[in-house]
Structure 1
Amino acid sequence: MLLDLGLQVVAPDLMGFGGTDAPHVQPDSGHLSTYSLKRASDDIAALASLLHVDRFILGGHDWGGAVVYRVALWHPERVTGIFSVCTPYNAPSKTFVSLDQVVQRAPQFGYQKHLAGPEVEAEIKGKVQLRRFLNGMYGARTATKESLFDPKIGINFRVLPELGKSKLLTDEEMVYYVDEYDRHGMHGTLNWVSHRPLRLSPALLSS
């Protein structure tokens, strides 16, 4: 659709996804800024400069949507317009709200506590498990209509081997996604949840 409008389109991945680097960092490593919104915003601006694009329209989905807003805040001279899918605007705040507090107010975000812990990364390894995981995340159900994902709880590993086939992905698309996630494993992807405190920390709000 965007190409039909005569626009040049660039679709970068967030750090940890696709062909990007996916540094393995732990919460106490001192290198958490790799997965911060500030770092991602600066990366987008640097990529635009590399492509000799002075100003651009920026869109994103989920965590990418959060990045879109921050690029507009930290690099306003580069942005002519933004759009975000499924991510509402959250203004920077010097008051940190923990994930526990978020879940207490909005239980549907309970799954983020599961993703932020060690269990999902430890369980979803290798192409077989990645295929099952992606299959379930794209809506596959068991014969008894059980799903893999519960927004209040997280991932139900028990049903992984019992899931049918997702109707949302073709075989070719599934192979592509499995290969992409298998490149670095789940660590980089899950860092966007597990390193949430850094993205909201006051130190980064003025940087």
Structure 2
Amino acid sequence: MSRADRKRWRAAHTLSDLGDLMARWLERDIKSWPGYQPGYGPEEETNPAMIRVLAQLNRAGYLTVDSQPGITEPDDGVMWSQRASVTGFVDEDELVARLEDMAAEHDLRIVLGGRAAGRVDEDVVLTTRDGQPHSVFPGYLGHGELRCMWPGVSFDAFGALMYAWQVTIYAPEWGASGQRLWDALEGVVGAANPRVVETEKNVPQLRR
């Protein structure tokens, strides 16, 4: 990670600060974030529409750390299947409640863990390779896992992560039909949070 990026992340003291920086990383204004390979942006599968929604989520108070589209396709001679999903941290009870309501309304699944919710051992399989589990979002990240994910952040920022809700939302079905998750997420944060609408005016548009 560059010295400039390291300094930016070290200067964050709240979950909101981290979310603003994560949005800038998604938009490629910042080259690195602590829990990811330095100098790399979002994965190629994270398309511009997803990036826009993820940036909105981060500015609205949902600090996202992992996400994926829903796909079912062959690769290397085997079939890969993914559920559309996103996971991260929220420290506002009101936003957690809105996300729960959204999940119920759109037949999505939500898993709440962390200090705010108590320990949750509901790991969720979100990618399979040749029918076998390949990637899993854990229902709970403890102190050690959070330290590995967020090296170098300030004491205050790490404390905010420790005491936040850990929120995973995913479509129950496999494949592209789960993409409705992203429309639902955009609806719950865009209209309900004036700060997102105002901030978006000053966000540079990605080249398509």
TM-score (norm 2): 0.31
Q: Which has the higher strand share?
A: 2
**Which of 1 and 2 has greater Rg?**
1
TM-score (norm 1): 0.31
Q: Which has the higher helix share?
A: 1
